[in-house]
Structure 1
Amino acid sequence: MNAFDSVVLEVADIEAATCFYSAVLGSDSPYLCLRASQDPTSGFRGFALSLVVSQPGNADALIDAAVDAGGRVLKSASKSLWGYGGVVQAPDGTIVKVATSAKKDTAPVSRDVGELVVLLGVEDVKASKEFYAGRGLSVGKSYGSKYVDFAADPGHVKLALYKRRALAKDVGVSAEGTGSHRLVLCGAVGACQDLDGFVWQAAVPVPR
């Protein structure tokens, strides 16, 4: 078991969220479902979505589209040792990181997303790694107590774990937050709740 199927985001304003994610992922994304929710939440919700693209121009195009659709820039796009990228926050509060390991464009610019990664901020990376490995996910990369990602077949959603405070710092927000994660992960490990309260459910079809 090397992937999971889709992500449910629970949002207060379906219309605004639909506009934003259609601009960023396309109106027929197989990875994302929106669900209305008024569950209390404040501050950092403990996760981020990472959109991995092939080149800097694509990252800029996605970030521009996100801002035009109501997103707010948390970190302006810039070069770094690992590549190029930036961070925006969706109208529903979800944090979206757009990144590429490439440092220059080698093809016409597009808004194609090569990979969707769910970054979970957890209190104990090693314990959460064991939790997910014990439920059938195969470890891809592992850097002790700092970071773990799990293998994912092409066309599926990838899962990665950070320390909560490290993830908050990476995306440019305070680590403080309370209430609902407003996130449900579908497939892979089946119906359960992990060590940090992230909820999984059996795979469900994503509405087209």
Structure 2
Amino acid sequence: MNSTATPASMSLTLDVITLGTPEVEAARRFYSTTLSPTVADDDDSVHLDLHGTGRLTLSAAERLATGAEPATPGFRGYVLTYVVNQPTEVKTLMDAAVRGGAEVLKPAKKALFGSFSGVFRAPDGAIWKLAAATGKDTGPAAESPLPTETTLILGVSAPKASKAFYEALGMSVDRDYGSKYIDFHPAAGAARLCLMEGGVLARDAGTAKDGDGFPSMVLTHRAGSREEVDLLLSAAAAAGGRTTVAATRTTEGYSGFFTDPDGFWWQVTH
């Protein structure tokens, strides 16, 4: 993988996570009742503000990315993590997810190093991990738990190489545990991006690593200028990614798409 200097005006941030779903309205109901986000609709998509810790968009799967392969029915190579304050709040959210039709992959229970977590697969196929840093409640639990952080963990083939790729696009590493786990500082109001080896991530989520198609997800960076769009697309290609849709004028402005070395799709838009 070639390294490249990062211009001061270019820094990739995970501003929006768009999930493809076969039934947008059904997904809207599920996430609205489970996570209680602020919801805004337009003609094509549903936009969810995860209480200031990230933004999630629900869209018809076939609209996500031009030329992308069909969504895989198995493990899609990523896990969304919703971090709350206390174990009882993890249980509250897990119960709400199950009532909404989610499949429990790992029951909520005390995990390693004193944490507490559970994992479910949402009706749209996305896998979510609910987690608290402590194994015991330290005070009254919220009836409608709010997240302290939302993270997206990508299952990659080589975490160290993926780290170099994202650093070349201006991301700053926060915690680095070598091939086990790497994450980056999140921008204000945005989700945190994390990296784990794909097989390890699948096992941690309680599922088999049996999916190999398009993950039905597009990650969006909102650039400050057209120049930044062009810079990021060029930097991604130089660092080992691939420009999948060249930057062009759109009805909403100017945007293009790239994939990282593991095939995850990003849209850079202004």
Per the TM superposition, whether the score is higher than 0.5 is yes
Structure 1 gaps of 5+ residues are none
Shift of 1:107: 2.8
Q: 2:101 matched to which residue of 1?
A: 70
C-alpha displacement of 1:2: 7.4
Asked if 1:81 is matched to 2:115, the reply is: no
Q: For residue 90 of structure 1, what is the aligned residue in structure 2? A: 122
* Length-normalised TM-score, structure 1: 0.92
Verify: 1:37 aligned to 2:71, yes or no. no
The reply to whether residue 168 of structure 1 matches residue 202 of structure 2 is yes
Aligned partner of 1:8 among 13, 18, 28:
18
Asked whether the equivalents of residues 120 and 160 of structure 1 are also in contact (C-alpha less than 8 Å), the reply is yes
Deviations 1:22-73 (A, max 9, x none): 1233241321100102534221110010001111011111111111111111
Match of 2:136 in 1: 104
Q: Give 3-state SS (helix, strand or coil) of 2:107's partner.
A: strand
Query: Which consecutive unaligned segments of at least 5 residues does structure 2 have?
Result: 1-10, 39-47, 50-54, 63-69, 223-231, 234-256
Paired amino acid for 2:262: D
Q: Is the 8 A contact 1:51 1:97 kept in 2?
A: yes
1:163 is displaced (CA, Å) by: 0.2
Q: Which moved more, 1:23-32 or 1:172-181?
A: 23-32
Runs of 4+ residues deviating >4 angstroms: none
Match of 1:196, as an amino acid?
D
| 8 Å contact from structure 1 (residues 59, 99) kept in 2 | yes
* Root-mean-square deviation over aligned CA pairs: 1.7
- Contact kept, 8 Å, 1:2 with 1:153, in 2: the verdict is no
Q: What residue is the counterpart of 1:54 in the other structure?
A: 85
Query: Which has the higher relative contact order, 1 or 2, with Cα contacts under 8 A spaced 6 or more apart?
Result: 1
Work out the number of aligned pairs and report it.
204
**Alpha-carbon distance between aligned partners in 1 of 2:141 and 2:12, rounded to the nearest angstrom:** 30
Tell me how far 1:142 sits from its aligned partner.
0.8
Distance across 2 between alignment mates of 1:203 and 1:114: 27
